[in-house]
Amino acid sequence: MKFNHPMIRVISSGKYAPPTLITNEDLEKLVETSDEWITTRTGIKTRHKATDELTSDMAVKAALNAIERVNYDASKIDLIIMATITGDQSTPSTANFIQAKLGLVHEVMSFDINAACTGFVYGLEVAASMLQTGRFRAALVIGAETLTKVVDYTDRNTCVLFGDGAGAVIIEPSTLDRHQAYFFNAAKGDLHNTLTVVNKIKMDGKKVYQFAVDAMEQAIRKVLEDAALSPEDIDIIIPHQANERIIQSVSKSMGIPMEKFMLNLSEYGNTSAASIPLTISEYFDQNDTKNKKILLVGFGGGFTWGSAILQL
C-alpha cells in the first residue's frame, strides 16, 4: 500500500520542567531502595515535581519557550493538540485551557490525546495530517504530564521512575519534498492491566519491559523501511525516556550505537507524553539542527507504540 506522506516543517521547539527535584536520596527515605539500585536499573538520578502548577501551566511555559525561541507569531497557530494522561480535569480538554492561557482569541481547534507515553508521536501524526488539508496554518503539539500526582510513593518499583515536565513543537505545512514526514503508530488492546492509571500508577514491570523492547525495535524498523532509510541516515534517535536498560537492549539487538540515542532520563525520569518533545527541545538547545534527520520512537500503556522521521 502506498501512503501519502505529509510535508511539514518543524519551526521551533520548547520545554519546561518545574524547579523542585526529587532525588534518589529523597526516595531512600520513603521506600526500601538506594541510589545505586535505582541508577543501575533505570539510569535515573533525579526527576522534577510540580508543586503549585497544573499540567496546562507547564504546557503553556513549554509553548512560550518554543514561541520565543524564534519570535513566532502566535496568531498563526490555529491547531493545538495536547498529549497527556494527567490533564487538569476530565473536561474541558487541557488544550482548551492552554489556548486561553496563551491568549489566543482567534479561532483555534484544540483537543487532547491520550495514548500514554506514545501520545506525542500520535499527536504529531494527527497534526501533520490535518495540516495537509490546507485548513490550518500552524499546529502547536504539546506533551505535558504531572505524573507525581498519580505516583504511589509506597510502591518501590514505580515511584522511582516518574517525573513532571512539558515539551512542545510548532509545525507548519511545507511544499518541499525534503520535508516529507514518515510515521508509524499502532496499538494493541491490553485487558490484563499491565500498565494502568486509575487513581495511581500500577505496572507489571517485567511485562512492560519485554513489550517495550520489541515495540521499539518494530517501530524503528517500520518507519525506516517506509522512508527507505537506514539507521546511518539518521542524525539522532530520540526515544521515549523510560529506562536506560530498554534503550541499551534495543541498541544492542539492532546494532545501533548508543551514541545515536539521545538520553536525558538521568535528570527527568519518565515523563510519559512529555518525554520525547522535552528531549527534542534539548536537542535544539545543544545542536545546529539545520537539515538534520531525527527519528522519534515511543511506547506506552494501552499498549501503544509509534515512531516518526522528521527532516529539520
pLDDT in tens, 233-275: 999 999 999 999 999 999 999 999 999 999 999 999 999 999 9
Confidence of residue 4 (pLDDT cuts 50, 70, 90): confident
pLDDT tens sequence across 88-123: 999 999 999 999 999 999 999 999 999 999 999 999
**For residue 3, what pLDDT is reported?**
66
Q: What is the mean pLDDT of residues 115-134?
A: 97
Answer whether residue 2 shows pLDDT above 80: no
Told to judge if 270 belongs to the known catalytic residues of this protein, a careful annotator would answer yes
Topology of domain 1-312, CATH: Peroxisomal Thiolase; Chain A, domain 1 (3.40.47)
Residue among 24, 48, 114, 240 flagged as catalytic: 240
Answer whether residue 279 shows pLDDT above 90: yes
Residue among 24, 114, 185, 270 flagged as catalytic: 270
Residues paired with residue 52 on neighbouring β-strands, in sequence order: none
Q: What is the mean pLDDT of residues 279-286?
A: 97
Answer whether residue 230 shows pLDDT above 60: yes
Answer whether residue 1 shows pLDDT above 80: no
Is beta strand 8-16 parallel, antiparallel or unpaired with respect to 164-173? Answer: antiparallel
Answer whether residue 145 shows pLDDT above 60: yes
Spatial neighbors of 20 by CB under 8 A, at least 6 apart, are 48, 49, 50, 51
Helix (H) or strand (E) holding 135: none
Spatial neighbors of 151 by CB under 8 A, at least 6 apart, are 158, 159, 162, 200, 201
Residues paired with residue 310 on neighbouring β-strands, in sequence order: 294
Q: What is the mean pLDDT of residues 113-135?
A: 97
Told to judge if 240 belongs to the known catalytic residues of this protein, a careful annotator would answer yes
Helix (H) or strand (E) holding 160: none
Q: Is 18 helix (H, G, I), strand (E, B) or coil?
A: coil
Answer whether residue 73 shows pLDDT above 70: yes
**For residue 201, what pLDDT is reported?**
93
Residue among 117, 159, 179, 243 flagged as catalytic: 117
**For residue 193, what pLDDT is reported?**
87
**For residue 312, what pLDDT is reported?**
93
Told to judge if 117 belongs to the known catalytic residues of this protein, a careful annotator would answer yes
Look up residue 232 and give its amino acid: E
Answer whether residue 70 shows pLDDT above 60: yes
pLDDT tens sequence across 177-229: 999 999 999 999 998 889 999 999 999 988 999 999 999 999 999 999 999 99
